């Protein structure tokens, strides 16, 4: 495993600020971890008073954050949201009610109600909305600074069953969608910053990724390269039809869609129906990014054309398909595949956007998945058949996003992407005032701070 993103949290030693204007130029940062069982991603933030580390499911397209408030929710700073408040109205929620149980975080009278949803099980429930404190540390791109509190962070309570199917130890969901109530938007508003955030996901369950909030860079990687200056940008599209279980007055989707125009294997476009890459009147079609999907899914006809092209191009590398391991349909014996700095040596995959010069190149590390079966290692093509009635024709999943830097510019409605950082031979580091707080970012060695590569 390439050690790009792995760190250790020591937030308790940071000083705390209540969002002064001076921190607007600094990013807020949080660790991301991949659960080895569910293959889903979690993000750790600090919530409540006193502050408590809280692990949440990272949902790139969700509208609002939710937490299990029915078990062990202890905070001295939470407040319910009154039904008649402008904040409740801003959720487009028509639910409001009283409580017949013991009053507490999950139970209040004249309280605004929301419909939190589990994106994996597609279950939803009715629960109260809350305001409480959230905190993250800052960074200027080279050092870790003070903790910053967002004193009125808005989220929904949720019942414990809504955690079914999510990663271990999570107590809720962190929403990173394009809603005004998402985690990145609330953080940016609290520190008077434009609406930006960036993600680096790690493919390892022991090595961590990172999220940056309220910044458009710099993103420093060894040897002190600012990757914010080398991102390629494409527009973010708005799907006019939302797909949540409970529709909020037919609001558009808060998920992130991009204008994919073609898919290439080894530089050769595959045959597909271009109309599938656009939205129809019901919001079906298009290409979205999702951290709820482990491997990129392709609508069945696109998938068949893609697999055929990949197998044909692989044959030119003397690779022969062997017995497969579900959910994958193409596997090769690992001993037959050469190793490169960007993973197994297989045909490249390009997601082409609005022009031939704007493409996201996927190398072997992100296109293939290592599988061990009966003591034999296999490299399997990490793309999955999404079916004939897929809502999104292409869903770019977490595996394809790993070890890539993705910047979401919600102001200009565009996505910045780096393609694989392994190709660039870089890794991330932050020195923390001479002390190595996050050991994946730095090592103390003879009085100097060095990064891991």
**What CATH number does the domain containing 134 carry?**
2.40.70.10
Tell me: do 211 and 265 sit in the same domain. no
**Can you tell me the distance from the alpha carbon of 223 to that of 229, in angstroms, rounded to the nearest whole number?**
14
Residue 130 pLDDT: 95
Tell me: do 57 and 111 sit in the same domain. yes
Q: Which of 167, 192, 220 is the last residue of a domain?
A: 220
pLDDT tens, position by position, 106-123: 999 999 999 999 999 999
Tell me: do 117 and 182 sit in the same domain. yes
Whether the pLDDT of residue 293 is over 70: the answer is yes
Tell me: do 372 and 259 sit in the same domain. yes
Q: Residue 324 contacts by C-beta under 8 Å, 6 or more apart in sequence? A: 330, 331, 380
Among 193-197, 404-408, 425-429, the range scoring the smallest mean pLDDT is: 425-429
Tell me: do 193 and 278 sit in the same domain. no
**Can you tell me the distance from the alpha carbon of 142 to that of 451, in angstroms, rounded to the nearest whole number?**
11
Among 35-44, 323-332, 357-366, 432-441, the range scoring the smallest mean pLDDT is: 432-441
Q: Residue 190 contacts by C-beta under 8 Å, 6 or more apart in sequence? A: 19, 148, 150, 151, 152, 153
Tell me: do 215 and 347 sit in the same domain. no
**Can you tell me the distance from the alpha carbon of 347 to that of 72, in angstroms, rounded to the nearest whole number?**
50
Q: Which of 220, 243, 278 is the last residue of a domain?
A: 220
Query: Which residue do the tokens 């996003």 mark?
Result: 401
pLDDT tens, position by position, 154-171: 999 999 999 999 998 999
Tell me: do 259 and 172 sit in the same domain. no
How many independent structural domains does the chain possess? Answer: 2
pLDDT tens, position by position, 9-53: 333 333 333 333 233 357 899 999 999 999 999 999 999 999 999
Residue 222 pLDDT: 65
Residue 368 lies in a domain: yes
Residue 1 lies in a domain: no
Tell me: do 64 and 200 sit in the same domain. yes
Whether the pLDDT of residue 411 is over 50: the answer is yes
Residue 13 lies in a domain: no
Residues 348/363, Cβ–Cβ less than 8 Å: yes
Which 3-state string (H, E, C) describes the chain? Answer: CCCCCCCCCCHHHCCEECCCHHHHHCEEEEEEEECCCCCCEEEEEEECCCCEEEEEEEECCCCCCEEECCCCCCCCCCEECECCCHHHHHCCCCCEECCCCCCECCECCCEEEECCECCCCCCECCEEEEEEEEEEEEECCCCEEEEEEEEEEEEEEECHHHHCCCCCCCCEEEECCCCCCCHHHHHHHHCCCCCEEEEEECCCCCCCEEEEECCCCCCEECCCEEHHHCCEEEEEECCCCCCCCCCCCCCCCCCEEECCCEEEECCEECCCCHHHHCCCCCCCCCEEECCCCCCEEECHHHHHHHHHHHHHHHHCCCCCCCCCCCCCCCEEEHHHCCEECCEECCCCEEEECCCCCCEEEECHHHHEEEEEECCEEEEEECEEECCCCCCCCEEECHHHHECEEEEEECCCCEEEEEEEHHHHCCCECCCCCCCCCCCCCCEEECCEEECCC
Q: 84 lies in which domain range?
A: 27-220
Mean pLDDT over residues 291-304, rounded?
A: 98
Q: Which of 38, 74, 68, 43 is nearest to 56 (CA)?
A: 43
**Can you tell me the distance from the alpha carbon of 233 to that of 217, in angstroms, rounded to the nearest whole number?**
14
Residue 436 lies in a domain: no
**Can you tell me the distance from the alpha carbon of 217 to that of 105, in angstroms, rounded to the nearest whole number?**
37
Residue 256 lies in a domain: yes
Tell me: do 194 and 52 sit in the same domain. yes
Percentage of the chain modeled with pLDDT above 70: 86
Tell me: do 311 and 387 sit in the same domain. yes
Q: Which of 186, 220, 254 is the last residue of a domain?
A: 220
Q: How many CB atoms lie within 10 A of CB 314?
A: 22
Tell me: do 137 and 267 sit in the same domain. no
Residue 8 lies in a domain: no
Residue 432 lies in a domain: no
Residue 207 lies in a domain: yes
Tell me: do 103 and 238 sit in the same domain. no
């Amino acid at each position: 495993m390439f050690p790009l993103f792995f760190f250790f949290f020591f937030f308790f030693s940071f000083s705390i600020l209540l969002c002064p204007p001076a921190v607007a130029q600094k990013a807020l940062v949080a660790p991301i971890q991949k659960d080895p069982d569910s293959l889903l991603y979690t993000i750790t933030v600090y919530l409540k008073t006193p502050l408590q580390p809280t692990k949440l499911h990272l949902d790139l397209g969700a509208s609002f954050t939710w937490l299990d408030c029915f078990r062990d929710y202890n905070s001295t700073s939470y407040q319910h949201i009154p039904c008649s408040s402008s904040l409740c109205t801003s959720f487009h929620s028509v639910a409001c009610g009283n409580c017949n149980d013991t009053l507490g975080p999950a139970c209040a009278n004249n309280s605004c109600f929301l419909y939190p949803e589990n994106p994996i099980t597609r279950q939803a429930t009715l629960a109260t909305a809350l305001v409480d404190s959230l905190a993250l540390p800052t960074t200027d791109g080279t050092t870790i600074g003070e903790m910053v509190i967002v004193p009125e962070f808005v989220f929904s309570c949720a019942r414990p069953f809504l955690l079914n199917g999510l990663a271990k130890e999570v107590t809720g969901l962190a929403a990173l969608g394009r809603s005004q109530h998402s985690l990145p938007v609330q953080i940016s508003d609290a520190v008077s910053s434009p609406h930006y955030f960036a993600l680096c996901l790690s493919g390892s369950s022991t090595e961590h990724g990172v999220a940056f909030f309220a910044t458009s860079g710099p993103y420093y990687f060894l040897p002190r390269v600012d990757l914010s200056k080398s991102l390629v940008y494409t527009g973010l599209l708005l799907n006019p039809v939302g797909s949540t279980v409970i529709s909020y007055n037919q609001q558009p989707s808060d998920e992130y869609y991009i204008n994919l125009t073609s898919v290439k294997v080894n530089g050769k476009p595959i045959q597909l129906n271009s109309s599938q890459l656009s939205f129809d009147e019901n919001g079906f079609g298009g290409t979205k990014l999702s951290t709820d999907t482990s491997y990129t899914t392709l609508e069945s006809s696109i998938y068949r054309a893609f697999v055929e092209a990949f197998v044909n191009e692989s044959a030119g590398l003397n690779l022969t398909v062997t017995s497969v391991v579900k959910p994958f349909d193409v596997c090769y014996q690992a001993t037959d595949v050469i190793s490169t700095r960007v993973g197994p040596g297989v045909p490249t995959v390009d997601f082409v956007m609005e022009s031939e010069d704007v493409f996201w190149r996927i190398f072997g590390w992100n296109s293939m998945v290592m599988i061990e079966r009966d003591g034999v290692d296999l490299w399997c093509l990490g793309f999955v058949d999404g079916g004939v009635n897929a809502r999104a024709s292409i869903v770019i999943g977490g595996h394809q996003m790993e070890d890539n830097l993705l910047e979401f510019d919600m102001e200009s409605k565009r996505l910045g992407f780096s393609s694989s950082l392994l190709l660039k031979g870089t890794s991330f580091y932050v020195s923390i005032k001479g002390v190595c707080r996050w050991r994946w970012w730095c090592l103390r060695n003879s009085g100097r701070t060095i990064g891991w590569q």
